[in-house]
Amino acid sequence: MIGRRAVLAAPMALAACDRLASAETPALRVPPLKTVAPCPFGTCVQIANLDDPSWRDLASVQISQLTPEWEMKMEYVLADGLAHPRFDRTDRIIDYARANAMTVHGHTLIWYSQGREAFAGLDDAAFDRAFDGYIAAVAGRYRGKVRSWDVVNEPILDDGSALRDCHWSARYGQDGYILRAFEVARRADPDAVLFLNEYNLEGIPKKGATFLRLVERLLKAGCPLQGLGAQSHLWIDIAEGRIAAFMREAAGFGLPIHVSELDVTLRTDKGALDLRSHADRVARQTARVTELTEAFMALPPAQRFAFTTWGLRDTDSWYRKADKDDGKDSPLPFDQNGRPNPMAGALATAFGRA
C-alpha cells in the first residue's frame, strides 16, 4: 500500500516534472488551423465528443467542417433493421455543426464491410429496393445539410491487386455497385459533391494505380463521381516523394480532392525491434505531413476541396483505442490536453506557404 506521505508527494513531483518539461520544450504556437487552411479544415466526430467540453472548445477554435466517424454508417443506421433506420445521433451532429457554423461531409453511404446482415435473405428485387431505398433515405434526409458524401468507401483490396468482392458486388458487379450507388445518391442529393474514398493510396503505389484506373472507368461509364477522397492514414516510413507523386497523378482528372482522414502513426511493423528515438519518429512524421500538405497546396485552388484529420487529439484516435495501445502514439495534431503537436506546426507552416 502507498503511504500517505508518498500520496501527498506525488502531486508535487508531477508539478516539478511539468515545470521541467515546459522549460525544456516550449509550447508550440500555432494559429487556428481553420484560419490558415485554403479550404474547410475538418475532423471526424462522434457523439461522445459533443459531450466533452474540452473537445468542443478545441474544435470551435480549430475546425470548420465535421465528418461523422461512425453514427452515419450503415452499422449504426440499420442496427434495428431496414424498416427502422436510426438517425438520432446523426441528426444531433448535423444540428451541432449548423449551430457552430461548420459544414458537414457525409460518411459513408456504401461500404463493403457493413450491411451484409441487414440485406441477408433478400431476393433480387427486394435487395434492389433496399439498396436504392437506403441511399435515398440517408442522402435525402440530409439534402441541403451536408456539403458532400463519401458515396462508396474502400472498394479496393489492401494490396491494390483488384477490387474487393463483397455482398454489393455479388449482386451488381465490382464496378456495378459503385455506379449504382453514385447514380442513386445523385438523384437523392443533386447539390452535394460525391466522392469515392480510399486508403493507402499514397503509400502503396499499386493501390494508388488501381484506384486511378477505377476512377477512369467510372467516369467513362458516365458515373456522377465528382471528387476523390484520399484518406491519408500515413505511416512514417513511406518513401520520400511517394505522397506527392500520387497527388500529382490524382490531380490529372481535374476533380476536387479531399484529404479525408489524415493521421500518421508513430508505430511501425518492426515493433520492439525499431530502436529509433521518439524524436526521430516525430521528425519522420513531420516530413510525411509536410509532403502531403505541400502536395495538396500545389493543387489548383478549385481542387482543394477540404483537409480533414481523423480526430483532433491523440486520445481521440482509433490508434489509441487499440487493445495493445501503450499510450505513447501521437498520430494527431493535438495532444490529450489540446496542445499542438509537431503535426499541427507542420500543417500550419505548409498551409501558410501558399
SS3 label, residue 101: coil
Residue 8 belongs to a domain: no
CATH classification of the domain holding 81 = 3.20.20.80
Burial (CB < 10 A; 0-12, 13-18, 19+), residue 25, is exposed
The verdict on residue 282 lying in a domain is yes
If one counts the domains in the chain, the total is: 1
* pLDDT tens figures, 163-195: 999 999 999 999 999 999 999 999 999 999 999
Is there a domain that residue 2 lies in? no
Residue 330 lies in a domain: yes
Cβ-based neighbour number of residue 90 at 10 Å: 25
Cα dihedral across residues 144, 38, 281, 20: positive or negative: negative
Q: Considering the chain, what is the average pLDDT of its residues?
A: 92
46 half-sphere exposure, CB direction, 13 A CA radius: 10
List CB contacts of 223: < 8 A, sequence separation 6 or more.
178, 179, 182, 183
What pLDDT is stored for residue 21 in this prediction? 42
- With cut-offs at 50, 70 and 90, classify the pLDDT of residue 15: very low
Q: What pTM, to 2 d.p., does this model score?
A: 0.91
In the predicted model, what is the mean pLDDT of residues 27-37? Answer: 94
Does residue 48 surpass a pLDDT of 80? Answer: yes
> CA–CA separation, 238 vs 199, rounded Å?
14
Of the candidates 189, 187, 199, which has an alpha carbon nearest to the alpha carbon of residue 228?
A: 199
Contact in structure between 338 and 332 (CB atoms under 8 Å): no
The answer as to whether 25 is a domain residue is no
DSSP label at 309?
Answer: E
Q: What are phi and psi of 51, to 5 degrees?
A: -90, 5
**Helices 124-141 & 176-188 angle (0-180, nearest 10):** 40
Please state whether the peptide bond connecting residue 349 to the residue before it is cis, i.e. omega within 30 degrees of 0: no
Reference 175, options 218, 120, 119; nearest CA is 218
pLDDT at 1: 39
Residues 72-126 have pLDDT tens digits of 999 999 999 999 999 999 999 999 999 999 999 999 999 999 999 999 999 999 9
Indicate the residue type of 28.
Answer: L
Task: Please return the burial class of 1, using the count of CB atoms within 10 Å of its CB with bins 0-12, 13-18 and 19+.
Answer: exposed
| 92, amino acid identity | R
Q: What is the pLDDT of residue 26?
A: 65
73 lies in some domain: yes
Grid coordinates representing 316?
A: 481521440
Q: What is the mean pLDDT of residues 206-226?
A: 98
Examine residue 21 and state whether it is found in any structural domain, yes or no: no
Structural domain boundaries, residue 130: 40-351
How many percent of the chain have pLDDT more than 90? 87
Tell me the C-alpha distance between 282 and 178, whole Å. 38
Instruction: Tell me, yes or no, whether 23 lies in a domain.
Output: no
- Measured between alpha carbons, how far is 103 from 149 in angstroms, rounded to an integer? 12
Phi and psi angles of residue 151, each rounded to the nearest 5 degrees, phi first: -75, -45
Peptide bond connecting 108 to the previous residue in cis, omega within 30 degrees of 0:
yes
Stretch 221-247: mean pLDDT, rounded? 98
Please give the pLDDT value at position 269.
86
